[in-house]
Amino acid sequence: MHKRVIAGGLLTLAALAVIGCGDSDPVSPPVVVNNTPPTIESLALSGTHAEAGQGIQVTASVKDPETPVDQLTYAWSASPANGVFAGSGATVTWTPPFGQATPAVHTVTLTVTERYSSAGQSLQNVVTRSATIPYNDSRAEITAISVQFIKDFGTYSVTPEQCVRNFSNTCPGKEAERDDIENNRENFLIQSAEITPTVVTFDKTGGTGLLEGQCVFIDIPRNGPAAGRRERVTGICHLETVYENFRWYLCVSRFDPPYSTTPLSLRWRVPGRVVFE
Protein backbone atom coordinates (compact mmCIF):
# COMPACT_ATOMS: atom_id res chain seq x y z
CA MET A 1 0.00 0.00 0.00
CA HIS A 2 2.78 2.40 0.91
CA LYS A 3 4.68 1.51 -2.27
CA ARG A 4 1.69 2.17 -4.44
CA VAL A 5 1.34 5.64 -3.00
CA ILE A 6 4.99 6.36 -3.66
CA ALA A 7 4.78 4.95 -7.16
CA GLY A 8 1.66 6.91 -7.82
CA GLY A 9 3.38 10.01 -6.58
CA LEU A 10 6.35 9.41 -8.84
CA LEU A 11 4.12 8.91 -11.79
CA THR A 12 2.27 12.05 -11.01
CA LEU A 13 5.50 14.09 -10.79
CA ALA A 14 6.74 12.68 -14.08
CA ALA A 15 3.45 13.49 -15.73
CA LEU A 16 3.60 17.00 -14.40
CA ALA A 17 7.16 17.39 -15.70
CA VAL A 18 6.05 16.32 -19.15
CA ILE A 19 3.06 18.62 -19.10
CA GLY A 20 5.26 21.55 -17.94
CA CYS A 21 7.70 21.12 -20.84
CA GLY A 22 4.91 21.11 -23.33
CA ASP A 23 3.52 24.44 -22.11
CA SER A 24 6.77 26.60 -22.53
CA ASP A 25 6.50 29.52 -25.12
CA PRO A 26 8.77 29.39 -28.24
CA VAL A 27 11.35 32.26 -28.75
CA SER A 28 9.98 34.92 -31.17
CA PRO A 29 12.20 35.63 -34.26
CA PRO A 30 13.64 39.21 -34.55
CA VAL A 31 11.46 41.66 -36.46
CA VAL A 32 13.01 42.86 -39.72
CA VAL A 33 12.02 46.40 -40.70
CA ASN A 34 12.15 47.54 -44.31
CA ASN A 35 12.73 51.31 -44.08
CA THR A 36 12.70 53.59 -47.13
CA PRO A 37 15.41 56.32 -47.03
CA PRO A 38 14.31 59.97 -46.89
CA THR A 39 14.20 62.04 -50.06
CA ILE A 40 15.66 65.55 -50.37
CA GLU A 41 13.47 66.86 -53.15
CA SER A 42 15.11 70.29 -53.50
CA LEU A 43 17.44 72.90 -52.01
CA ALA A 44 16.34 76.49 -52.53
CA LEU A 45 18.50 79.57 -51.89
CA SER A 46 16.95 82.96 -51.26
CA GLY A 47 19.30 84.74 -53.69
CA THR A 48 21.07 84.23 -57.00
CA HIS A 49 24.55 84.89 -55.60
CA ALA A 50 26.32 84.79 -52.25
CA GLU A 51 28.28 87.69 -50.77
CA ALA A 52 31.04 87.25 -48.20
CA GLY A 53 29.79 88.16 -44.74
CA GLN A 54 26.13 88.39 -45.79
CA GLY A 55 23.58 85.74 -44.81
CA ILE A 56 21.49 83.88 -47.36
CA GLN A 57 18.60 81.55 -46.48
CA VAL A 58 18.71 77.92 -47.62
CA THR A 59 15.56 75.78 -47.47
CA ALA A 60 15.29 72.05 -48.08
CA SER A 61 12.16 70.13 -49.10
CA VAL A 62 12.43 66.71 -47.42
CA LYS A 63 10.02 63.76 -47.36
CA ASP A 64 10.08 60.40 -45.60
CA PRO A 65 7.32 57.73 -45.62
CA GLU A 66 8.07 56.33 -42.12
CA THR A 67 9.65 59.06 -39.97
CA PRO A 68 8.25 62.58 -39.39
CA VAL A 69 10.64 64.99 -41.09
CA ASP A 70 11.16 66.98 -37.88
CA GLN A 71 12.60 63.84 -36.28
CA LEU A 72 15.29 63.44 -38.92
CA THR A 73 18.82 64.76 -38.35
CA TYR A 74 19.98 67.62 -40.60
CA ALA A 75 23.66 68.48 -41.11
CA TRP A 76 24.64 71.44 -43.31
CA SER A 77 28.03 72.17 -44.83
CA ALA A 78 29.60 74.27 -47.60
CA SER A 79 32.74 74.15 -49.70
CA PRO A 80 35.41 75.21 -50.49
CA ALA A 81 34.90 77.07 -47.18
CA ASN A 82 32.19 76.23 -44.66
CA GLY A 83 31.28 79.68 -43.42
CA VAL A 84 28.63 79.89 -40.68
CA PHE A 85 25.24 78.16 -40.58
CA ALA A 86 22.61 79.60 -38.23
CA GLY A 87 19.44 77.71 -37.35
CA SER A 88 18.61 74.02 -37.60
CA GLY A 89 16.42 71.61 -39.47
CA ALA A 90 15.30 72.11 -43.03
CA THR A 91 15.78 75.90 -43.10
CA VAL A 92 19.04 77.65 -42.14
CA THR A 93 20.89 80.88 -42.87
CA TRP A 94 24.31 80.49 -44.44
CA THR A 95 26.91 83.27 -44.18
CA PRO A 96 29.89 82.65 -46.49
CA PRO A 97 33.32 83.75 -45.20
CA PHE A 98 35.61 86.54 -46.33
CA GLY A 99 39.01 85.91 -47.85
CA GLN A 100 38.13 83.23 -50.38
CA ALA A 101 39.06 83.20 -54.06
CA THR A 102 36.67 85.57 -55.82
CA PRO A 103 34.73 85.29 -58.02
CA ALA A 104 34.05 81.59 -57.47
CA VAL A 105 31.29 79.01 -57.18
CA HIS A 106 30.51 77.57 -53.74
CA THR A 107 28.56 74.41 -52.95
CA VAL A 108 26.05 74.04 -50.12
CA THR A 109 25.34 70.45 -49.04
CA LEU A 110 22.63 68.97 -46.81
CA THR A 111 23.03 65.53 -45.22
CA VAL A 112 19.85 63.98 -43.77
CA THR A 113 20.08 60.97 -41.41
CA GLU A 114 17.19 58.69 -40.42
CA ARG A 115 17.80 56.30 -37.49
CA TYR A 116 15.71 53.15 -36.91
CA SER A 117 15.87 49.57 -35.50
CA SER A 118 15.63 46.34 -37.46
CA ALA A 119 16.16 42.76 -36.25
CA GLY A 120 17.48 44.09 -32.96
CA GLN A 121 20.09 46.31 -34.61
CA SER A 122 20.38 50.09 -34.73
CA LEU A 123 20.56 51.20 -38.38
CA GLN A 124 20.42 54.44 -40.30
CA ASN A 125 19.67 55.84 -43.75
CA VAL A 126 21.84 58.71 -44.94
CA VAL A 127 21.09 60.87 -48.00
CA THR A 128 22.71 64.05 -49.33
CA ARG A 129 21.94 66.78 -51.84
CA SER A 130 23.94 69.83 -52.97
CA ALA A 131 23.31 73.17 -54.63
CA THR A 132 25.83 75.56 -56.16
CA ILE A 133 25.82 79.35 -56.01
CA PRO A 134 28.16 82.06 -57.35
CA TYR A 135 30.26 83.67 -54.59
CA ASN A 136 31.86 87.11 -54.38
CA ASP A 137 33.93 88.92 -51.82
CA SER A 138 33.04 92.14 -53.62
CA ARG A 139 35.21 94.54 -51.68
CA ALA A 140 38.28 92.36 -52.20
CA GLU A 141 37.38 91.69 -55.84
CA ILE A 142 36.87 95.35 -56.76
CA THR A 143 40.08 96.28 -54.95
CA ALA A 144 42.07 93.56 -56.74
CA ILE A 145 41.02 94.49 -60.30
CA SER A 146 41.47 98.21 -59.61
CA VAL A 147 44.94 97.86 -58.10
CA GLN A 148 45.94 95.50 -60.93
CA PHE A 149 44.80 98.02 -63.54
CA ILE A 150 46.82 100.86 -62.03
CA LYS A 151 49.85 98.59 -61.69
CA ASP A 152 49.50 97.50 -65.34
CA PHE A 153 49.18 101.12 -66.44
CA GLY A 154 52.54 101.80 -64.81
CA THR A 155 54.25 98.79 -66.39
CA TYR A 156 55.53 99.75 -69.84
CA SER A 157 55.83 96.14 -71.00
CA VAL A 158 52.10 95.50 -70.45
CA THR A 159 50.24 96.18 -73.68
CA PRO A 160 47.20 98.50 -73.79
CA GLU A 161 44.98 95.48 -74.55
CA GLN A 162 46.29 93.63 -71.50
CA CYS A 163 45.81 96.71 -69.32
CA VAL A 164 42.06 96.80 -70.01
CA ARG A 165 41.42 93.05 -69.77
CA ASN A 166 39.29 93.53 -66.63
CA PHE A 167 37.08 96.21 -68.22
CA SER A 168 33.55 95.26 -69.28
CA ASN A 169 32.94 95.02 -73.01
CA THR A 170 29.59 96.72 -72.42
CA CYS A 171 31.23 99.91 -71.12
CA PRO A 172 32.54 102.59 -73.52
CA GLY A 173 35.22 103.26 -70.92
CA LYS A 174 37.14 100.20 -72.09
CA GLU A 175 37.83 101.52 -75.60
CA ALA A 176 38.51 105.04 -74.34
CA GLU A 177 40.99 103.77 -71.78
CA ARG A 178 42.77 101.56 -74.32
CA ASP A 179 43.22 104.60 -76.60
CA ASP A 180 44.59 106.65 -73.70
CA ILE A 181 47.12 103.96 -72.83
CA GLU A 182 48.28 103.71 -76.43
CA ASN A 183 48.94 107.45 -76.39
CA ASN A 184 50.63 107.15 -73.02
CA ARG A 185 53.06 104.59 -74.39
CA GLU A 186 53.85 106.88 -77.34
CA ASN A 187 54.34 110.10 -75.35
CA PHE A 188 55.69 108.92 -71.99
CA LEU A 189 58.08 106.30 -70.73
CA ILE A 190 56.03 105.16 -67.77
CA GLN A 191 58.12 104.06 -64.79
CA SER A 192 55.56 103.06 -62.16
CA ALA A 193 52.02 103.61 -60.89
CA GLU A 194 50.62 103.00 -57.43
CA ILE A 195 47.25 103.43 -55.76
CA THR A 196 46.28 103.49 -52.09
CA PRO A 197 42.54 102.68 -51.94
CA THR A 198 40.57 104.87 -49.54
CA VAL A 199 36.95 104.26 -50.60
CA VAL A 200 35.34 101.03 -51.81
CA THR A 201 31.57 100.76 -52.22
CA PHE A 202 29.32 98.33 -54.08
CA ASP A 203 25.67 97.53 -54.72
CA LYS A 204 25.22 94.09 -56.22
CA THR A 205 21.47 94.60 -56.61
CA GLY A 206 22.07 97.68 -58.72
CA GLY A 207 25.17 96.15 -60.27
CA THR A 208 27.50 99.06 -59.58
CA GLY A 209 30.63 99.66 -57.52
CA LEU A 210 33.31 102.27 -56.94
CA LEU A 211 36.91 102.52 -55.78
CA GLU A 212 38.80 105.72 -55.12
CA GLY A 213 42.34 106.16 -53.92
CA GLN A 214 45.45 108.31 -53.97
CA CYS A 215 47.53 107.58 -57.07
CA VAL A 216 51.21 108.27 -57.69
CA PHE A 217 52.70 108.05 -61.21
CA ILE A 218 56.37 108.25 -62.17
CA ASP A 219 57.18 108.80 -65.85
CA ILE A 220 59.58 110.39 -68.29
CA PRO A 221 58.06 112.62 -71.01
CA ARG A 222 59.32 111.85 -74.50
CA ASN A 223 58.53 115.31 -75.91
CA GLY A 224 58.34 118.96 -74.85
CA PRO A 225 60.43 121.00 -72.45
CA ALA A 226 60.43 118.21 -69.82
CA ALA A 227 61.55 115.51 -72.27
CA GLY A 228 63.90 113.02 -70.65
CA ARG A 229 63.23 114.26 -67.13
CA ARG A 230 61.79 111.88 -64.53
CA GLU A 231 58.65 113.38 -63.01
CA ARG A 232 56.14 112.51 -60.29
CA VAL A 233 52.39 113.12 -60.66
CA THR A 234 49.72 112.58 -57.99
CA GLY A 235 45.92 112.76 -57.87
CA ILE A 236 42.81 110.74 -57.05
CA CYS A 237 42.06 107.69 -59.19
CA HIS A 238 38.31 107.15 -59.53
CA LEU A 239 37.32 103.72 -60.86
CA GLU A 240 33.70 102.70 -61.45
CA THR A 241 32.75 99.03 -61.73
CA VAL A 242 29.81 96.94 -62.96
CA TYR A 243 28.55 93.52 -61.83
CA GLU A 244 27.97 91.21 -64.80
CA ASN A 245 27.75 87.43 -65.06
CA PHE A 246 28.45 87.04 -61.33
CA ARG A 247 31.75 88.97 -61.29
CA TRP A 248 32.96 92.57 -61.13
CA TYR A 249 34.44 94.47 -64.09
CA LEU A 250 35.94 97.91 -64.42
CA CYS A 251 33.78 100.34 -66.40
CA VAL A 252 34.97 103.95 -66.09
CA SER A 253 38.36 105.41 -65.17
CA ARG A 254 38.76 109.02 -64.07
CA PHE A 255 41.52 111.16 -62.57
CA ASP A 256 40.28 113.64 -59.96
CA PRO A 257 41.93 116.56 -58.15
CA PRO A 258 43.79 117.61 -56.09
CA TYR A 259 46.70 117.28 -58.52
CA SER A 260 50.40 117.81 -58.01
CA THR A 261 50.67 119.44 -61.44
CA THR A 262 48.50 121.47 -63.80
CA PRO A 263 45.59 119.57 -65.41
CA LEU A 264 46.64 120.58 -68.94
CA SER A 265 49.85 118.56 -68.58
CA LEU A 266 48.01 115.37 -67.52
CA ARG A 267 46.63 114.29 -70.90
CA TRP A 268 47.66 110.65 -71.61
CA ARG A 269 49.86 110.80 -68.54
CA VAL A 270 47.36 109.27 -66.13
CA PRO A 271 44.58 106.72 -66.63
CA GLY A 272 41.09 107.89 -67.48
CA ARG A 273 39.42 111.20 -68.09
CA VAL A 274 41.04 114.15 -66.32
CA VAL A 275 38.56 116.16 -64.27
CA PHE A 276 39.00 119.95 -64.24
CA GLU A 277 37.93 121.80 -61.13
Each residue of 51-61: pLDDT tens digit?
999 999 999 99
Q: What is the rounded average pLDDT of the residues 90-106?
A: 98
Query: What pLDDT, in 10s, does the model give residues 21-48?
Result: 555 567 778 888 889 999 999 999 999 9
Query: What pLDDT, in 10s, does the model give residues 267-276?
Result: 899 999 999 8
pTM of the model: 0.85
Provide the residue type at 106 as one letter: H
b/e map 25-51, b = 16+ CB within 10 Å: eeeeeeeeeebeebebeebebeeebbb
**84-88, strands of its sheet edge to edge:** 39-45, 56-63, 91-95, 84-88
**What pLDDT is stored for residue 261 in this prediction?**
87
| DSSP per-residue letters across 83-136 | -EEEEETTEEEEEPPSSS-SSEEEEEEEEEEEEEEETTEEEEEEEEEEEEEEEE
Q: What is the rounded average pLDDT of the residues 88-95?
A: 98
**What pLDDT is stored for residue 22 in this prediction?**
52
Pairwise CA distance, residues 95 & 97, whole Å: 7
For the cut 50, the answer to whether the pLDDT of residue 255 exceeds it is: yes
